[in-house]
Amino acid sequence: MEKIFSVYSRYLQSTPTSQRASIAICHLRKTFGNTSLRGISKKVPEYIASRKVSAGTINRELGVLQSALRYAFKQGITDFMPAIMKLPSPPPRAQFLSHLEVEALLNASSSFPEVDRFIRIALMTGQRKEAILSLRWDQVDFEANLIDFNDPSMPFASRRKGRGTVPMSQALKAFMESLGEDSIWVIHRSGKRIRDFRSDWAKIMKASGLSITPHILRHTVATHLAQKNVPMPQIARILGHANSQITERVYAKFSPDFCKQAVEHLSV
């Protein structure tokens, strides 16, 4: 099994998800590293019991184990595929900020210009962190009032999670016009693209009294739209979901009128 992990780790270097999967492999090796292929299935319960993390994290890590075994099988390293038991999928979470919490966040971020720029764009587009940090000015169309967060020129573009093409509201357009195109990147520091801002984010969290990840801004946008009865297909398009099923599964419960017209036909 250790050989499979080593081969798969080398393969991961060519994928956009290598860092996250490599972290998973570090945890998997502690339980499965010296296990024979035919003993892996019996070791899964031990792994689940030893990992003091959420069911979602455990399932993601076991998914990496499955991917490593599948890759080894395709490469002819093994001719046996053990069954991998997973935990029941946890219900989707949709933590989001209230309007007062958004105000507190923006007040705290005002001392950090680049992060403040990210937060405001996130709250007006609902896009993922990487999509915003990699946004170039040539993806912003002021004439058509659109921002296309998709970038087919990026490495592994076809494997990346969906990104939206978002119409600019008046507020977003005014904000984007106020920034000035002094770099090819919308968010930059001295002309160079920002890859991360963990240190500044931690300071903003301390100042605001919040404890969230940047991804919660995306959930906040989707939840607020659902609360205002924006149709699920429209929310899905903005978020870049392939279809509205995942959107409905996570956010429909926040929409006051979702299925209201349908239940009006039900009576006894």
Which CATH number is 99-254 given?
A: 1.10.443.10
- The proportion of the chain whose per-residue pLDDT surpasses 90, expressed as a percent, equals 68
Q: Which of 159, 1, 196 is nearest to 82 (CA)?
A: 1
Q: Report the pLDDT value the prediction gives residue 151, as an integer from 0 to 100.
A: 84
Dist. CA 179–CA 113, nearest whole Å? 11
Q: Which of 49, 197, 169, 192 is nearest to 112 (CA)?
A: 197
Tell me the whole-structure pTM to 2 decimals.
0.68
Task: Count CB neighbours of 221 within 10 A.
Answer: 21
Region of poorest pLDDT, from 19-33, 183-197, 210-224: 19-33
Q: Which of 35, 44, 51 is nearest to 3 (CA)?
A: 35
Q: Which residue has the higher pLDDT, 15 or 172?
A: 172
Tens-digit pLDDT profile for residues 140-170: 999 999 999 998 766 554 555 678 899 999 9
Please determine, for residue 16, whether its predicted confidence score (pLDDT) is greater than 70: no
Task: Count CB neighbours of 241 within 10 A.
Answer: 20
DSSP 158-186: GGSPP--EEEPPHHHHHHHHHH--SSSBS
Task: Give me the residues paired with residue 167 across strands.
Answer: 146
Please determine, for residue 267, whether its predicted confidence score (pLDDT) is greater than 80: no
Dist. CA 45–CA 85, nearest whole Å? 8
Q: Helix 99-109 and helix 198-208: axis angle, to 10°?
A: 120
Q: Report the pLDDT value the prediction gives residue 208, as an integer from 0 to 100.
A: 96
Dist. CA 95–CA 218, nearest whole Å? 10
Tens-digit pLDDT profile for residues 221-249: 999 999 999 999 999 999 999 889 989 98
